[in-house]
Structure 1
Amino acid sequence: MNGNETMEQWIQELLRNDNGVEKMTEKQAKILQSAIEVFAEKGFAGSSTSEIAQRAGVAEGTIFRHYKTKKDLLLSIVAPAMTKLIAPFVLRGFNSVLDADYESYEGVIRAMIENRIEFITKHRNILRILMQEIPFHPELQEHFQRDVLAKVLTRLQKLVTQFQAKGQMVDLPSMTVVRLSISTIMGYVAVRTFYGERKDAVWDDAREREETIAFIMRGLGISK
């Protein structure tokens, strides 16, 4: 799937209401797509509605007929993205990871890393907006915690508990194990995505991945 197809997929999903009936006008769709591009490139604070309007080919006043403020425009993109897209995509991707039968926790870590790299590669713009804006907007934090984080953490906790019951993992609170694992994995994936893929980057991805896995395993007191 190339970038244009991915963006089109996001736009079409965001345009639909719960009954699957498109409810936005063509101008709204253009505004939405332009806002995603500009927010991803410049961040919310560095973006302007005039630039979004220019890129969408509409008058700036048209934006304010549909969205009262720039913040409303941001929320109209990110909140539905998390509720309808991010959460289902994350859980759908994790289902194949978490429902598989692993002999060791190392297998889980490897599967999670591969799954997240694929996910971020396909949905880079929306995810860049989420990473940039969630820390600064309480409304987005609430959506993220309810629609994404809580569901993912619950699934991972159950998996960790199963390994602990078999005596294959250090006796720590399951949430602590999940938190340490996710933070390390996402740190690797984020640096790989926004630095390691640069042409001028000095980055040995195979080694970085193996060291990340070894770091998690050693930290949890599990021998590879």
Structure 2
Amino acid sequence: MDETYVKQLMEAQEVSLTTKQAKIIISAIEIFAEKGYAATSTSEIAKQAGVAEGTIFRHFPTKKDLLLSIVKPGLMKLAVPFFASQMVNDIFKKEFNEFEDLLRAFITNRLEFVEGNLPLIKIVLQEIAFHEEIQIVLKENFQAKVYPRLEEVIIAFQKQGKLKEFPIPTIIRFSLSTFLGFVITRYIVMPNKQWDNEREIDDMITFIMNGIESGQAI
């Protein structure tokens, strides 16, 4: 974990962290990302952080509190707003001739984001099904910042006759589930496989567009 990454995480915290708290959080991120929350013990985190296990519980009453101290003030203030606002700036303020071009820009941009924030992303993907707090913050950010822009550009393409008039929620759900399925397989299920990201992007776009074009129009 490089210094820039650690600095960003520390800046995302609402309160100042002591040196020991910072070491505990950084070690927890690394181990949670590698082994998963359930399979990680506080003794492992303490050993990697170079502190006594009791020190963890003085700062974080439970292991769940430690997880949320990473996900809520850290990832949710750093990654999710960045995901929403930066994606809008990088993608939706550009003009694309075809919907396929937008998909390529979206998928490429998000893969770069995932690779630049992989430990935190892995934690969220591994734990989102088990923690309602993570689900709520992700849902709120997506619905407020990302979904309206996606809806806007899809409507524009449909009005231009460049995209079939398939239900917009279905197009968004189908596109995002295809992308997220790849991210989960690529970075969690089969991280050691030899991946050709460019080929995978091409295949995802073909799969999504074929699904939309073969679907029943409104």
TM-score range normalised by the length of the shorter chain:
0.7 to 0.9
Corresponding position: 1:40 with 2:30? no
How high is the TM-score relative to the length of structure 1?
A: 0.86
Corresponding position: 1:84 with 2:77? yes
Partners of 1:86 and 1:148 within 8 A in 2 = no
Corresponding position: 1:13 with 2:7? no
Unaligned runs of 5+ in 1: none
Q: Quick one: distance in 2 between partners of 1:141 and 1:186?
A: 15
Q: Quick one: distance in 2 between partners of 1:196 and 1:71?
A: 27
Identity of aligned residues (%): 44
Deviation at 1:104, TM superposition (A): 0.7
Q: Quick one: distance in 1 between partners of 2:3 and 2:75?
A: 19
Partners of 1:94 and 1:112 within 8 A in 2 = no
Q: Quick one: distance in 2 between partners of 1:164 and 1:23?
A: 49
Matched positions, count: 213
Quick one: structure 1 residues 203 and 24, their matched pair in 2 at CA, closer, same or farther if it must change by over 3 Å?
A: closer
The 3-state SS of whatever aligns with 1:220 is: helix
Corresponding position: 1:220 with 2:218? no
Q: Quick one: distance in 2 between partners of 1:204 and 1:23?
A: 41
- 2:202 alignment partner in structure 1: 210
Deviation at 1:24, TM superposition (A): 1.3
- 2:53 alignment partner in structure 1: 60
Taking the TM superposition and a 5 Å limit, the aligned residue runs for 1:16-165 are 17=14, 23-91=16-84, 92-148=86-142, 150-165=144-159
The 3-state SS of whatever aligns with 1:23 is: coil
Partners of 2:29 and 2:120 within 8 A in 1 = yes
Partners of 1:14 and 1:80 within 8 A in 2 = yes
For 2:115, the aligned partner's letter is T
Quick one: structure 1 residues 48 and 189, their matched pair in 2 at CA, closer, same or farther if it must change by over 3 Å?
A: closer
Deviation at 1:12, TM superposition (A): 2.3
Q: Quick one: distance in 2 between partners of 1:134 and 1:64?
A: 24
Q: Deviations over 1:32-72 (max 9, x none)?
A: 11111111111111011111111111111111111111101
Partners of 1:185 and 1:212 within 8 A in 2 = yes
After superposition, the CA RMSD in angstroms is: 2.1
